[in-house]
Amino acid sequence: MPKEVFATPSHKFVPAMNRFPDSQRKMPVLVGLTILGLLVAAGLLLRSWWMPFEESDPISPTRASFGPRVTASPSEERSRGLPGVIVARETVEVASRLEAILEEMMVALGDKVEQGDVVARLGSQDIEHELRGAKARHRILTGEEEASKLRASEARLHRSRVEALGDLASEEEKQSAIHDVQLADTERAIARAKLEEQDARIAQIESRLANALVRAPFAGQVAARYVDAGALVRPGTVLVRLIRGEDKHVRFAVDPATIGALKQGDPVEVCAPDLGIRLPAIIHHCSPEMDLASGMLHMEAILQPAEGYSQLRIGMQVEVMN
């Protein structure tokens, strides 16, 4: 029986790139070149559109960021005015001198006070008890000092009697009488010193008790109140801030280019643009040195009472014209 012969097809490996036509293989390259060309064209178009603006505006945004800084001339600065601020003639922060509980605040924000008025009251019970004990100790020391006086008088009387006996008194009795007088005088001096020490202690306690009533150092107005009743305060804790606002000053800074044009006693004009107020002022103080941080010279001028004077508030920003 004849054998069956099966023909097997021959398989030939064909690379992937060769499976596609040449036109399809070139397509990605053409697309990439096309995109690159469009980007270059867009950049040129944007450049041609931006150049007219740079020529017409010499201070363009790019040049303003990296170009030289343009500063105003001194005359332009003077025409705009020097920046200043309204300040009070006197300002003080009234602080506690004791460690105690704040029992009562006697003033509120904006209240007017006279010199010596009580602005706050601190707890003083412990100080009052200490004062009573010190005064009782003072009475004891006073009695001891009186007793030392009596002993000194008695010792002198005894010595005079011994001396009156003359030769009838022995030398030992005479020396003993003299020693008793010296001892009595020493005891009296010690008693007197203790009494003076107690006097000083009482005066110190009374001073602390007086500090429990915090008083205004001058007549003015309460500009700020920092604590309320019930708070624990310590020495140096600021309770209120007082200002004396009758005479308002304006503090301003002068650049080196303007220093020669202003001096003490010169008149200036203070302008409050927000209120539309212009007031005359006279330069009263001039700092002897330049401020290292700002490179400016600080000056103060006294505002002259005129229309709108009462509308100016402490801390308000103003401009100073010369």
Radius of gyration over alpha carbons of the chain, in Å? 48
Note whether 82 and 135 are same-domain residues: no
Note whether 42 and 83 are same-domain residues: no
The DSSP annotation for 307-322 comes to TTGGG--TT-EEEEE-
**214, 113 contact by CB (below 8 A):** no
Note whether 129 and 202 are same-domain residues: yes
> What is the mean pLDDT of the segment spanning 19-44?
68
Note whether 133 and 206 are same-domain residues: yes
The listed range with the strongest mean pLDDT (110-114, 159-163, 245-249) is: 110-114
Note whether 151 and 203 are same-domain residues: yes
Question: Is residue 113 a part of any domain in this protein?
Answer: no
Q: pLDDT by residue (tens digit) across 177-230?
A: 889 899 999 999 999 999 999 999 999 999 999 999 999 999 988 989 999 999
Half-sphere exposure for 130 (CA within 13 Å, toward CB) = 14
Task: Copy the structure tokens of residue 38.
Answer: 């469009």
Question: Is the pLDDT at 306 greater than 70, yes or no?
Answer: yes
- Mean pLDDT, the chain, whole residue set: 81
Question: Is residue 228 a part of any domain in this protein?
Answer: no
Cα–Cα distance, 203 to 134 (Å, whole number): 10
Question: Is residue 224 a part of any domain in this protein?
Answer: no
Note whether 184 and 164 are same-domain residues: yes
CA proximity to 209, closest of 88, 83, 124: 124
Question: Is residue 238 a part of any domain in this protein?
Answer: no
Question: Is residue 182 a part of any domain in this protein?
Answer: yes
> What is the mean pLDDT of the segment spanning 54-64?
44
Of 46-50, 246-250, 261-265, the one with minimum mean pLDDT is: 46-50
Question: Is the pLDDT at 19 greater than 90, yes or no?
Answer: no
Note whether 202 and 272 are same-domain residues: no
Q: Name the maximum alpha-carbon separation found in the chain.
A: 188
Q: pLDDT by residue (tens digit) across 111-157?
A: 999 999 999 999 999 999 999 999 999 999 999 999 999 999 999 89
| 3-state DSSP percent of the chain in helix, strand and coil, to 5 | 45, 25, 30
- pLDDT at position 264 is 86
- Where does a domain end: 211, 233, 256? 211
Note whether 128 and 207 are same-domain residues: yes
> What is the mean pLDDT of the segment spanning 24-46?
71
| Better-scored residue on pLDDT, 29 or 22 | 29
> What is the mean pLDDT of the segment spanning 299-320?
86
Note whether 60 and 83 are same-domain residues: no
Note whether 183 and 247 are same-domain residues: no
**In 21-44, which positions are buried (b, 16+ CB within 10 angstroms) versus exposed (e)?**
eeeeeeeeeeeeeeeeeeeeeeee
Angle, helices 125-165/171-211, rounded to nearest 10 degrees: 160
Question: Is the pLDDT at 42 greater than 70, yes or no?
Answer: yes
One-letter amino acid of 262: L
Question: Is residue 168 a part of any domain in this protein?
Answer: yes
pLDDT band at residue 80 under the 50/70/90 scheme: low
Q: At 188, which CATH number?
A: 1.10.287
- Where does a domain end: 187, 211, 235? 211
**320, 301 contact by CB (below 8 A):** yes
Q: At 294, which CATH number?
A: 2.40.30.170
Long-range contacts of 3-11 (CB under 8 A, 24+ apart): none
- Where does a domain end: 156, 191, 211? 211
Note whether 140 and 84 are same-domain residues: no
Question: Is residue 111 a part of any domain in this protein?
Answer: no
Question: Is residue 197 a part of any domain in this protein?
Answer: yes
Note whether 166 and 206 are same-domain residues: yes
The tally of domains found in the chain comes to 3
Cα–Cα distance, 261 to 266 (Å, whole number): 9
**Structural domain range at position 267:** 78-90+243-321
Question: Coil, helix or strand for 259?
Answer: helix
